[in-house]
Chains A and B, each alone.
Chain A
Amino acid sequence: MTTSHEMLYLDYAATTPVEPGVIDTMSQLFAFEGDFGNPSSGHVAGRRASARVAHATSQLAQLLGCRESELVWTSGATESDNMAIVGAARYRADRGRHLITMPIEHKAVTDAFGSLEKQGFEVTWLQPDADGLLVLDDLEAAIREDTQLVSIMHVNNEIGVIQDIEAIGSICRRHDVLFHIDAAQSVGKVPLDLATLPVDLLSTTAHKLYGPKGVGALYIADRPGCHVEPLIHGGGQQRGLRPGTLAVPLIAGFGHAAEIARLHMDENTEHLVELRDRMWEGIRDVEGILGNGGEDAAFPGILNVSVAGIEGESLLLALEPLIVATGSACNSKDREPSSVLRALGRSDELAQSAIRFSFGRPTTVEDVDFAADRYRSAVARLRELAPRSAA
């Protein structure tokens, strides 16, 4: 079991540990003996650091199937989302001020759109179907003459549903609307080839794919009309799009993590499919259990389940030493039922009983068996505790 007695970590959708090789890469870039220079400096130390950034950019570009010049380094997916959504909306505001997204997006997206609504933009919030998928006909119907941007998450962080970004992007291209995807959960785990996909803007982050926290990237397609206004202003780095001294160790770590993900994607996916399926098999006959998110379009690293008649907070504590999530990590401190699950039509009681298991490279079959047993016994224990009328 990949755990001490204190915990069994099954929250890889929240964050992942850093690969040891990635740590080695980063550790070469902090001290005097390493390439610690400012990559904007013209001297040898700066050029060495700049070469490290260029190498990392190449590594991430290979993973995404894009050109190095189409990538901008950021502090993470939240900044990338904001830069894409707010930056693109402002850039194209003279053409129109209508935008489209879904209420099941990550807070970094919904709050960015909320901010734009306060600035006079109009946002259409498309409801998902019962599996969490965007209804393509609804999108087609929602696009107007003045629509400038559609933002849809690739893999949903709570329920793991995978949106058909090729179909969505094709609709957007046909209407000359920019298409942004939040790919924080999918990059390095789901094949993506931006050379062929109709995606204009893509947000990603390192810490979901065994890289460091604090670094992300935004892909901006090199095509006419696709651009963003910078959100911050300063020294002109990264073509003025995102100025500020580059975090060379973090960027190099992200690049290395991206390369590892690219080289091992098939075997990692196979591993996750085995774990997710085994977990579901281990708990699917629990009375009242319900999978959240469609099985046909589900990311293998995430299994989100609700169970009738169980109080979610007590379930979370009864599951210890399992480390799991009740919703997105950003939301798990407040006890409000997940807005994502509410959008899928789940009742408050089912939504608050939702548990997200997310698996990773270190997770073993034995871990999953332990987790399934723990889940079954925790549900049984809480059912036994409940007043008879509520059981």
Chain B
Amino acid sequence: MTSDPYGDRVRELFADLAHSGDLADAPHVCVDDQGVRIALAASLEDGVLEALRFRAWGCPHVLAAAESFCRDYEGRPCSDLLEFRSAELMQTLPVPTEKLGRILVLEDAVRSLGQSVLHGLSGEAE
């Protein structure tokens, strides 16, 4: 029997991708791999992720994962970006294992954003 490839959580996120878009003059990164393109941007306030935005070209799981990441990480210390693990999203959305590679592209993008943000902060401190 054919089952719905998308769980309720993926459908809910896909229907309301509230964090899609850009942030003017904010640190941003873009990763293109595995047939997926993900751009992330972050605005900061006192070392805290004030706002996160994404743009993505990919399957519904990728879009939902990007939206979920943005929702979860706003308000957290920017150092948390370096701790992001895709494994949790794989389970909570959930994402089928054959799409792990695509979700790892999001992980790469998040970590890249973290490095960019922290590098900017250290530059300010100097």
Residues A388 and B55 in contact, CB atoms below 8 Å apart: yes
Q: What string of 1s and 0s marks CB contacts (under 8 Å) between A99-138 and chain B?
A: 0000000000000000000000000000000000000000
Tell me if B30 is interfacial: C-beta within 8 Å of chain A: yes
In the bound complex, residues from chain A placing their C-beta under 8 Å from that of B47 are none
In the bound complex, residues from chain B placing their C-beta under 8 Å from that of A311 are 57-59
- Write the chain B residue with the least CB distance to A316: B60
Residues B2 and A333 in contact, CB atoms below 8 Å apart: yes
Tell me if B20 is interfacial: C-beta within 8 Å of chain A: yes
Tell me if A384 is interfacial: C-beta within 8 Å of chain B: yes
Tell me if B82 is interfacial: C-beta within 8 Å of chain A: no
Tell me if B38 is interfacial: C-beta within 8 Å of chain A: yes
Partner of A386, one of B6, B11, B14, B56: B56
Tell me if B9 is interfacial: C-beta within 8 Å of chain A: no
Q: What string of 1s and 0s marks CB contacts (under 8 Å) between A74-117 and chain B?
A: 00000000000000000000000000000000000000000000
In the bound complex, residues from chain A placing their C-beta under 8 Å from that of B14 are 314, 317-318
Q: Give complex CA distance A200, B8 in Å.
A: 51
Q: Give complex CA distance A192, B38 in Å.
A: 51
Residues B59 and A314 in contact, CB atoms below 8 Å apart: yes
State the interface size on chain A (CB cutoff 8 A). 15
Q: What string of 1s and 0s marks CB contacts (under 8 Å) between B18-37 and chain A?
A: 00100000000010100001
Tell me if B110 is interfacial: C-beta within 8 Å of chain A: no
Residues A313 and B60 in contact, CB atoms below 8 Å apart: yes
Residues A385 and B6 in contact, CB atoms below 8 Å apart: no
Q: Give complex CA distance A385, B63 in Å.
A: 9
In the bound complex, residues from chain A placing their C-beta under 8 Å from that of B38 are 387
Tell me if B39 is interfacial: C-beta within 8 Å of chain A: yes
Residues B59 and A386 in contact, CB atoms below 8 Å apart: no
The bracket for how many chain B residues form the interface is: 10 to 19
Q: Give complex CA distance A317, B60 in Å.
A: 7
In the bound complex, residues from chain B placing their C-beta under 8 Å from that of A387 are 30, 32, 37-39, 55-57
In the bound complex, residues from chain A placing their C-beta under 8 Å from that of B32 are 387, 390
Q: Give complex CA distance A311, B102 in Å.
A: 13
Tell me if B17 is interfacial: C-beta within 8 Å of chain A: yes
In the bound complex, residues from chain A placing their C-beta under 8 Å from that of B58 are 311, 314
Given the known inter-chain contacts A317-B6, A317-B14, please indicate yes or no for A389 contacting B30, CB distance below 8 A.
yes
In the bound complex, residues from chain B placing their C-beta under 8 Å from that of A389 are 30, 37
In the bound complex, residues from chain B placing their C-beta under 8 Å from that of A388 are 39, 55
Residues A314 and B60 in contact, CB atoms below 8 Å apart: yes
Interface, chain A (partner B; CB < 8 A): 309, 311, 313-314, 317-318, 333, 335, 384-390
Interchain residue pairs A-B with the least CB separation, the first 4: A387-B39, A313-B59, A386-B57, A387-B55
Return 29 A-B CB contacts under 8 Å, by A number: A309-B57, A311-B57, A311-B59, A313-B59, A314-B14, A314-B58, A314-B59, A314-B60, A314-B63, A317-B11, A317-B14, A317-B60, A333-B2, A335-B59, A384-B20, A385-B20, A385-B57, A385-B63, A386-B55, A386-B56, A386-B57, A387-B39, A387-B55, A387-B56, A387-B57, A388-B55, A389-B37, A390-B32, A390-B37
Q: Name 8 extra pairs, CB < 8 A, besides A311-B58, A387-B37, A387-B57.
A: A311-B57, A313-B59, A313-B60, A335-B59, A386-B57, A387-B30, A388-B55, A389-B30
